[in-house]
Amino acid sequence: MTTPTEPPIEAVVSATLGAAGVRELAELMPPLVADLADIDQRLQAVLPAEYSQLSTAAVYACSTGGKRVRPLLMAALHRALGATETSRIHSLAAAFQLIHTASLVHDDVIDHAEMRRGRPSLPRAFGLPAAIMTGDYLFVRAFELAADYDRSIILRCGEACANLVEGEILEEASRYDLTTGRDHYFRVIERKTAAIVAASLASVAEIARAPAPTIERAGEYGRAVGLTFQIRDDLLDVYGDADLLGKPLYTDLREGNPTLVSLEAYARLDPGRRVEFERLFALRRKAPGDLLRLRALIDESGAPAIVAEQATSWAERAVRALEVVRPTPWRTLLERLARGVAERRY
């Protein structure tokens, strides 16, 4: 079984900012390369288990070519708040990355996902029981890393995990049901996606001994970036490039997960087409033609432009949250990353 290599940091940043953004902020790349390398080393150090198959599964889960945006944001924020080196936050960044990875493993179990980042998902590669236990193992190892920090930060990590579970339950409760509406959708993504980013960045600000208002705004920035990411992800599920995404399109439509794309389409279609959309969306087994018809109805509704606007709006909220941070190239990077998340194609 081949373990893919992680993309270089320039590729990670370029995927969000574009080549011009990387050139403009080239001076920031060397310290970020060192930061992410050390964070990855700390993560890898806690993966080995006495049972070799568990070790192999844990390494597999953590080496699926993920975007590493969260540790990148944490390192950049720490430097934006005045840190000249970021080693104090590296174990925490590794912990949050493990929490995120564990949640993806459990997502793949729940969704019966076949692929993750262009490779067989962990459940497909190792089987359901091993995948469930590997997800649990990663959560435990994350808290082993977090144990080095103050109680307030450990509690914030725990709250982020509780939010993840609650988000999963809320999402499961709304499957195949478009009447749950936008408020329910935002409750789901606040918990499943935004909470962990908000917690990680608020924790960085606390470690940097920033004043309470700055800690709060760091959390707001993380929350807004998390929401931007998820809204854009929903759009890419219908309009993305499957090769870039490393997974098939139409997963949310196929699995009956109401996203902002499907909810906005449902709200904007005329009554006859709305009935058709709801009927097709509710099918437990959808043929390719059903999925293509759902996409055609989404096209007709004008929902994609509305959803793209929403992603941009949340990115701008993230940028405004950074106004309490002194202007530096590091703050510029954080602003560019937020806006780049709203326009990403991967």
pLDDT at 112: 85
Domain boundaries, the chain: 28-337
User: What does the alpha-carbon distance between residue 264 and residue 302 come to, in Å, rounded to a whole number?
Assistant: 8
Give the largest Cα separation in the chain, rounded.
61
Mean local confidence (pLDDT), 99-114: 90
pLDDT for residue 11? 64
Q: pTM for the whole thing? A: 0.92
Three-state secondary structure call for residue 6: coil
Q: Which residues pair with 116 in a beta bridge?
A: 119
* pLDDT for 131: 96
* pLDDT band per the 50, 70, 90 thresholds, residue 113: confident
pLDDT score of 346: 76
Region 28-337: CATH code: 1.10.600.10
- pLDDT digits over 189-222, tens only? 999 999 999 999 999 999 999 999 999 999 999 9
Query: What does the alpha-carbon distance between residue 108 and residue 126 come to, in Å, rounded to a whole number?
Result: 12
Cα-Cα-Cα-Cα dihedral sign, residues 120, 307, 188, 319: positive
Residue that is written with structure tokens 């699995």 in the block? 255
pLDDT digits (tens, 9 = 90+) for 118-155: 789 999 999 999 999 999 999 999 999 999 999 999 99
